[in-house]
Structure 1
């Protein structure tokens, strides 16, 4: 899944739109040993529980018809905001020297959203990206998948 070994002291961010695991490889490239350094979670209920009412309707000009207006997808918006906040956390951690190298692991949409918000200081430390959702895997399984 990942084309090169993850070096000693390299951090691994495993995230989706609601949870982020900050891991550090305390092993080496041959025998990785990921330890959890931080866990962030955001409560993000399904959209149906966040919406206030039915989608609105607008009258079409001159035809007498009414068209539905798409309501905001609050669940997706929450995921995008969480990705931006993770990017901000990474900046603060990088600025404090918490990590020198990092691998980003997230579903493609979240990875793209995070990438838009990454500071240059963090971008310079990214040594790899994996576009997969691994947040619900145990740490030892993440090790196996990234080392394979």
Structure 2
């Protein structure tokens, strides 16, 4: 959760499993002014468009009884892979000194996936987290939500 206002020059990552907005606060904690620094998007079609085969079946043994095997959720795997890619981008940016403070905003599942891949250098710069999906909100709405 965000305990205090977002300082000047703090970066804000607003991400979900398919889109990431890298914002920078050019205002202060009371009057934030987020500017877009980078946008990353991933083309991740639904699983039904990515799978090549029908779900498998397996014998339950003995009789002619068979059970279905759940198909791989390619769409969900794509989201997890994107979270890992975002974590890698953050590491490269932090290593180059692009930001000193970072706020991460993402849905709970993506936030958890990203945490698994964040380098210690990035973790040390995180000053706040919010488990919420704001990627499809306009920047001024993101400012209002994070300022509240």
* Short-chain TM bin: over 0.9
Give unmatched runs, 5+ long, in structure 2: none
2:32 corresponding residue in structure 1: 32
RMSD of aligned Cα (Å): 0.9
What secondary structure, in the 3-state scheme, does the structure 2 residue paired with 1:93 have? Answer: helix
1:45 corresponding residue in structure 2: 45
What are the superposed Cα offsets for residues 26-62 of structure 1, whole Å, 9 maximum, x if unpaired? 1011110000000000000011111112201011122
1:142 corresponding residue in structure 2: 142
Aligned residues: 148
Distance in 2 of aligned mates of 1:63 and 1:88: 50
User: Are residues 1:7 and 2:14 paired?
Assistant: no
What secondary structure, in the 3-state scheme, does the structure 1 residue paired with 2:127 have? Answer: strand
What secondary structure, in the 3-state scheme, does the structure 2 residue paired with 1:130 have? Answer: strand
TM-score by length of 1: 0.97
1:85 corresponding residue in structure 2: 85
TM-score by length of 2: 0.97
Distance in 2 of aligned mates of 1:62 and 1:19: 49
State the shift of 1:3 in Å. 3.0
Contact 1:2-1:147 at 8 Å conserved across structures: no
User: Are residues 1:125 and 2:129 paired?
Assistant: no
Distance in 1 of aligned mates of 2:63 and 2:114: 43
Distance in 1 of aligned mates of 2:57 and 2:133: 36
State the shift of 1:84 in Å. 0.3
2:63 corresponding residue in structure 1: 63
1:109 corresponding residue in structure 2: 109
What are the superposed Cα offsets for residues 90-128 of structure 1, whole Å, 9 maximum, x if unpaired? 000000000000000000000000000000000000000
Distance in 2 of aligned mates of 1:19 and 1:52: 25
2:18 corresponding residue in structure 1: 18
Distance in 2 of aligned mates of 1:63 and 1:92: 57
